[in-house]
Amino acid sequence: MNHEHIALSDEVADALSAGLGVVALESTLLAHGLPASVSLDVAHRLESVVRAQGAVPATIAVLGGRARVGLDADQLARVCADDAGLVKLSRRDLAPALALGRDGATTVAGTATLAAQAGVGVFATGGLGGVHLAEPGAQAWDVSADLDVLASTPVAVVCSGVKSVLDIAATVEVLETRSIPVLGFGTDSFPSFYLRESAFGVPWRVDSAAAAAAVVAAHRDHVPGGSGVLVVNPVPAEHELDRDLHDRLLADGMALLRERGVRGKDVTPVLLDHFHTSSGGASLTTNIELVVSNALVAAQIAVELARPR
C-alpha cells in the first residue's frame, strides 16, 4: 500500500520526525456533530488545548480527494463552514472520496484509519460509535464501523464512552469480543457521553496519563493483532447533563427517528441535532466540554508516549 494519498502539514510532519507527541482530531464531529455556529471555535479550542500540553494537533479530513493530516486555517474553516456539504466518511467511504476528488469529514473509523497510516498513534473524539438500539426483540444491525476499525487499527482513542442513545450493553460486549482494551480514565464506570456513568463498568481503570500511556505501549509492543486501545474519560462533572432532561431528550429522539424513518449514517447527526436544539443548548455545552477534556487527556498521553523509555 502506498501513502501518497496522505498530505501531512509541515507542522505534523516535523513533529513526527522529531518524535514529539501528536494527537489526531476528527472532522465529523465538527462538520456533522456540532452546529456550524460553534464548530470553528471548537476546532480552534481543541487545537490550542493540545498545544498547551506540548503536543501537536493533527485534525484530519479529506479535501479535494486528498487526505489531509493537519489542517491550515483555511482548510479548518472549510470543514466547519455552514454550507460546506462535506460527506461523512467512514473507512469504507475513503476510497470513493479519494478517487472521485471529493471533500469529506472523517468519522472515528475514517480518522483512525488515516491517523495510523500517517504514524499518529493517539486520537481524541467525543463519543465512539457503537451498537444502536433495535426494536424490542429485533436484531440490531446498525453497528458503527468504529468498533471494527478500532479492532484492527493501532490507535489509542480517547472518548467519553459511547452516546447514551446507543445500546451500551451490546457495545461493551462487542468491545470485549473484538479484544479492544478499555481503560476507564479515573473512573470505574463506562461513561455514556452526556452522563459520567452508565450501568456498565470498565475492565481496567487508570488514574494518570502515564499509566494510560504505559498500557498503550504494552499493547502495541506485546499483544499481536494491531488493535487499538479505548481510553474512556467522563465529561467533567460540572458539565454533565441533567439526568431527567437527558432521559426526556433520549425518549423523544428515539421517537423522532422512527417517525422520520432515519437510517444509516444520518442516525447519529440527527440525534445529536435533536439533543442540541431541544435542550436549549445545554447538551451542546456538554458535548463541547467533553471533547475538549478528551483532547487534553489525549495530548497528555501522547506526550507520555513520546518520552524516551
* 11 is annotated as an active-site residue: no
39 binds ligand PSU (CB under 6 A): no
| Out of 108, 172, 230, 284, the residue judged to bind ligand PSU by CB under 6 A | 108
234 binds ligand PSU (CB under 6 A): no
171 binds ligand PSU (CB under 6 A): no
Closest C-alpha among 161, 177, 91 to residue 126: 161
CB under 6 A: which stretch of 40-48, 122-130, 211-219, 297-305 binds ligand PSU?
A: 122-130
- Helix crossing, 243-260 with 267-278: angle to 10°? 130
- The 3-state DSSP class for residue 135 equals coil
Shortest Cβ 270–Mn ion spacing (Å)? 11
Partner from ligand PSU, Mn ion, none contacting 276, C-beta within 5 to 8 A by type: none
**For ligand PSU, the closer CB: 28 or 227:** 28
**Cα torsion at 79, 144, 213, 193 (round to 10°)?**
80
> Can you list the positions of beta strands (E) in the chain?
6-8, 22-25, 56-63, 66-69, 87-89, 104-106, 122-124, 156-159, 182-185, 204-206, 229-232
Spatial separation of the C-alpha atoms in residues 269 and 267, rounded to whole Å: 6
| Out of 21, 26, 191, 295, the residue judged to bind ligand PSU by CB under 6 A | 26
* 88 is annotated as an active-site residue: no
Shortest Cβ 146–ligand PSU spacing (Å)? 5
- DSSP string covering 56-99: EEEEEEEETTEEEES--HHHHHHHH-TT--PEEE-GGGHHHHHH
By rule CB under 6 A, what string of x and - marks binding of each residue 280-309 to ligand PSU?
-------x---x------------------
Contact indicator for 297, 209 with CB cutoff of 8 Å: yes
93 binds ligand PSU (CB under 6 A): no
User: Contact positions toward ligand PSU, by CB under 6 A?
Assistant: 26, 28-29, 32-33, 107-109, 125-127, 129, 144, 146, 265, 268, 272, 287, 291
